[in-house]
Structure 1
Amino acid sequence: MESSSTTGSKSESVESRVSKIDWLNATFDAPAMSVHGLLAFVGEVMDKPITAELDGGLFGFTERHRITARLDDGAKVEVGSVALGGESQKGRWMLQLNGKGCGLVNDWASVQELLEGLAATISRVDLAVDFLDGEYSVDDAMTLYHEGAFINRGRNPELDTQGAWHEAGTKGRTMYVGKLKNGKTLCVYEKGRQLKMPDSNWTRFEVRLGNRDRVIPLDILTNPDRYFAGAYPALAHMLEAAAEEIPTVREEIKGSLAHGLFHMQRCYGKYVQQALEATGCTSIDLVEEVRVIGIPKKVEPSGVVAGLAWPELQAQIGRLKQ
């Protein structure tokens, strides 16, 4: 939904806005390279000297190599980790780059190419857009929420707020749309005030994506704008990019089932009708005769099929008929 008070009046600020990767967790089977080789790669894409220190475990991995980069001024900052080991991880590794680490990467194409070669899975990625002069503010985001601009598939995501919403202060305000445990959330916060700049209008919009019920494409690393714009309808007008939504597995299943049933009706619906009329069998008898126990390849995984409601599937088939 487009609001004349928030979206339409701010179109002039769109062209200069680009999103950036602000966090990355990627997992992959143990590669041919050593930990040292992977760390050397991280140093290359950051163009900074890095060191690593073995420091406990992380997310069930028993071995964590905490990565530190040396900046041009000599300061050292933690930029991420390489984690591996642990029976529960079944030989997999994880590369994690935090916000500072992502900010130092100057060659995301090489990162994407490496992860593609490793057949990696992105388990978390954050996409951030900064409005340094408050072109879009926390108040704008709240207005868009109440106007229904975040509604997707008929439901408004959950809303949570933190900070000084009901009192004057310099702490800053934060709002969350959606829940990360469901695989997607938007965090909007007053970044300037977080950095102790009380007069700053700097606001950050940050989409946080997880791989629960969705496969995050690796090209999100080199084309973050379109996935930021596609995360929620309200964000589509904030960047000059074609919005692309990452479907959940359930939506893909619904689409695959609907597509198959639509073509079954188109190609074989008349056969069904003639069998019913000519033989006098019941619909149940006919279905039991022709159905095959199993799951079509395009409808994997089966774990979420049971949650699909018949009216949802009917509606999807109806859209295909239009």
Structure 2
Amino acid sequence: MGENLEGARADADAHVWASADEDLGEVSLVMTDSGEIKTVMVRKPSSSQACIIDWINFTVLEDTFFKTARQTLVTDDQIIEEASRQFEKIFGFGITGKRDRGMYFYRESWVLGDGMGFVCFGGQRSTMLVNLSGQGCQNAVGGWEKRLFDFLTTVAVRPSISRIDLAHDDIDGRYLSVDWAYDQYEQGGYTHKAGGRPPNIERVGNWTRPTGKGRTLTIGLRSSSKYLRVYEKGRKEGDKSSPWCRCEVEFKNTNTVIPFDVLLNPTDFFAAAYPCFAHFVHVDTPKRMAVKAKTAQITVDACIEVTKHQFGKYIRVFRELWGDKEALDLICNETEDYWPKRMKPLTSNATSGPVPVHKQAPARVPSFLQFITAVPSFGLNGENGFV
């Protein structure tokens, strides 16, 4: 493959590799089914648990759900219901409602859980894309990484991970900061080879006179297969004096194959991302629940401060006029979905939120289609299946 890359495909692929703007170090090359040459994510064995998965996008063929349902699913609603049933087994929450528009170039999209991510379906070669956001990763039932690995490797038809974010937190700010991250750039800490081309760098926020709103350092290009964000997480959440800093690497399958093993051993791939990560990959990152508890503490304190600043005077007058109970009854929101968007992550878990679609009223199948029960060899859109 090395000869092909230098020879026949050199001119065709030159623009791809020149635009990557990233040094991947020692890599292995593979050829995909479509004939593309891609690198495989680098792995460096580690004994610690230095990161958590904070975001994942993956795709599977719709045939996956014919397989799990053990019958032909005729309508899109039936496929979505079966997908919801499977995702509830994996994450603890299923698909809860349809959105009014598509996303990620898919024709339609649905909400996963109580705003834990999205499911996209329709118009993309019979594939389904699942997006589990940072909130979804945080609130999924423990062990979801192993269950998803098992699903993708033993059940799913033609699965692929298109994006995964790995994050390391230093809640006390003992060794990780945006200033440390910038110093590492000056020292070549993001370049694997001596004298190699340094990646793109950007500083976001007020670095000259910090305002407490938080600063961010990014390494690489957002369009690249690897993109680093180091930011003041605590200040972003609302605590202007918090030392909490997060280091987050976003991997995409633009020019890289993301192996399923990253779900079981994320630290091995995180450790190999940049040379400077050797400074802290041997330190265990806080457990997911510790991160959630810290986020909750900062969020509640910030919400109290905002309420006190904007409405404190009104509330105090209402107490004097009507007393505590009547005043609260007057000003409380009466809608069912009364939790503010900012505070929803504090209570969201696998058992809360809207009812998933597979537990709602079943989708109606036209009577003239109910005779179809056999599973076609290659799905509804396959050459040997129903057209």
TM-score (norm 1): 0.64
Which residue is equivalent to 2:288?
Answer: none
Which residue is equivalent to 1:129?
Answer: 168
1:141-191 Cα offsets, whole Å, 9 max, x none, are 111111111112422111011011011311110000111212111100000
User: Of residues 115, 127, 146 in structure 2, which corresponds to 1:109?
Assistant: 146
In the TM superposition, what are the counterparts of 1:100-179 in structure 2 within 5 Å?
Answer: 100-105=135-140, 106=142, 107-116=144-153, 117-118=155-156, 119-135=158-174, 136-153=176-193, 154-179=196-221
CA distance in 1, matches of 2:262, 2:47: 20
CA distance in 2, matches of 1:43, 1:94: 16
Indicate yes or no: 2:88 matched with 1:43: yes
SS in 2 for 1:59: coil
Residue pair 2:57, 2:162 contacting (<8 A) in 1 also:
yes
1:55-102 Cα offsets, whole Å, 9 max, x none, are 311111101011233xxxxxxxx101111111xx11111111011011
Highest RCO, 1 vs 2 (Cα 8 Å, sep ≥ 6): 2
Which residue is equivalent to 1:238?
Answer: 280
Residue pair 2:86, 2:94 contacting (<8 A) in 1 also:
no
Distance 1:230 1:156, change over 3 A: same
SS in 2 for 1:236: helix
Distance 1:216 1:32, change over 3 A: closer
More strand, by proportion: 1
Amino acid in structure 1 at the alignment position of 2:54:
D
CA distance in 1, matches of 2:273, 2:183: 18
Which residue is equivalent to 1:23?
Answer: 55
User: Of residues 128, 132, 142 in structure 2, which corresponds to 1:97?
Assistant: 132
Which residue is equivalent to 1:294?
Answer: none
In the TM superposition, what is the alpha-carbon distance from 1:53 to its structure 2 partner?
A: 2.5
CA distance in 2, matches of 1:170, 1:99: 23
SS in 1 for 2:223: helix
In the TM superposition, what are the counterparts of 1:51-62 in structure 2 within 5 Å?
Answer: 51-62=96-107
Residue pair 1:138, 1:189 contacting (<8 A) in 2 also:
yes
Amino acid in structure 2 at the alignment position of 1:123:
S
In the TM superposition, what is the alpha-carbon distance from 1:124 to its structure 2 partner?
A: 0.9
Amino acid in structure 2 at the alignment position of 1:58:
M
In the TM superposition, what are the counterparts of 1:207-218 in structure 2 within 5 Å?
Answer: 207-218=249-260
Which residue is equivalent to 1:196?
Answer: 238
Tell me which moved more, 111-120 or 191-200: 111-120
In the TM superposition, what is the alpha-carbon distance from 1:43 to its structure 2 partner?
A: 2.4
Which residue is equivalent to 2:301?
Answer: none
Residue pair 1:189, 1:203 contacting (<8 A) in 2 also:
yes
Distance 1:35 1:49, change over 3 A: closer
Residue pair 1:184, 1:208 contacting (<8 A) in 2 also:
yes
In the TM superposition, what is the alpha-carbon distance from 1:19 to its structure 2 partner?
A: 0.7
CA distance in 1, matches of 2:218, 2:258: 21
In the TM superposition, what is the alpha-carbon distance from 1:50 to its structure 2 partner?
A: 5.9
Percent identity of paired positions between Structure 1 and Structure 2: 34
Amino acid in structure 1 at the alignment position of 2:244:
W
In the TM superposition, what are the counterparts of 1:224-303 in structure 2 within 5 Å?
Answer: 224-240=266-282
In the TM superposition, what is the alpha-carbon distance from 1:104 to its structure 2 partner?
A: 1.8
For structure 1, the 5+ residue unaligned runs are: 1-13, 70-77, 242-322
CA distance in 2, matches of 1:198, 1:16: 31
Task: Tell me the number of residue pairs that the alignment of Structure 1 and Structure 2 aligns.
Answer: 218
Residue pair 2:50, 2:281 contacting (<8 A) in 1 also:
yes
Which residue is equivalent to 2:225?
Answer: 183
Distance 1:93 1:150, change over 3 A: same
Distance 1:202 1:95, change over 3 A: same
Distance 1:134 1:92, change over 3 A: same
Which residue is equivalent to 1:84?
Answer: 121
